[in-house]
């Protein structure tokens, strides 16, 4: 079965500094990976995905993610953090069996960007 791990419950960063939210995955076969963001009292919003191709994936709101097959990681990054980026971030991996485009989510990382 596939799984993702988000080792940090919370990440704090100063506005203007680069940010990284970590994600590692475990899957037999090719990984298909996603990042979502959740603002308070809202549903999840899609940021970006890796299916194949370039290891650096660009997404919404200036976010990007780097796929590293040897380290089984898919870290979310942004060159310059904004206070408005403060939210809960989820990494997810697509299931490889059973159809239906199912996702398995990590436990989430709370990002706090401070002035």
Partner 1 sequence: NAGVTQTPKFRVLKTGQSMTLLCAQDMNHEYMYWYRQDPGMGLRLIHYSVGEGTTAKGEVPDGYNVSRLKKQNFLLGLESAAPSQTSVYFCASSYYGTDPYPDYNEQFFGPGTRLTVL
- Give me the residues that bind partner 1 (CB under 8 A), please: 9, 32, 34, 36, 41-46, 49, 51-52, 90, 94, 98-108
Nearer to partner 1, 49 or 75 (CB): 49
The minimum distance between CB 102 and partner 1, in angstroms, equals 6
Nearer to partner 1, 19 or 89 (CB): 89
Nearer to partner 1, 34 or 63 (CB): 34
Q: Do the Cβ atoms of 95 and 30 come closer than 8 Å?
A: no
Strand partners, 20: 77
CA–CA distance, 102 with 92 (Å, rounded to integer) = 10
Q: Do the Cβ atoms of 92 and 4 come closer than 8 Å?
A: yes
């Amino acid at each position: 079965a596939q799984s993702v791990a988000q080792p940090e419950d919370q990440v704090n960063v100063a506005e203007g500094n680069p940010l990284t939210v970590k994600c590692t995955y475990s899957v037999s076969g090719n990984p298909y990976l996603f990042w979502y963001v959740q603002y308070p009292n809202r549903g999840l919003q899609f940021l970006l995905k890796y299916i194949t191709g370039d290891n650096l994936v660009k997404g919404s709101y200036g976010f990007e993610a780097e796929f590293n097959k040897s380290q089984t990681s898919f870290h979310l990054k942004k060159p310059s953090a904004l206070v408005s980026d403060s939210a809960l971030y989820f990494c997810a991996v697509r299931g490889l069996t059973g159809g239906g485009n199912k996702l398995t989510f990590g436990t989430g990382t709370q990002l706090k960007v401070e002035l």
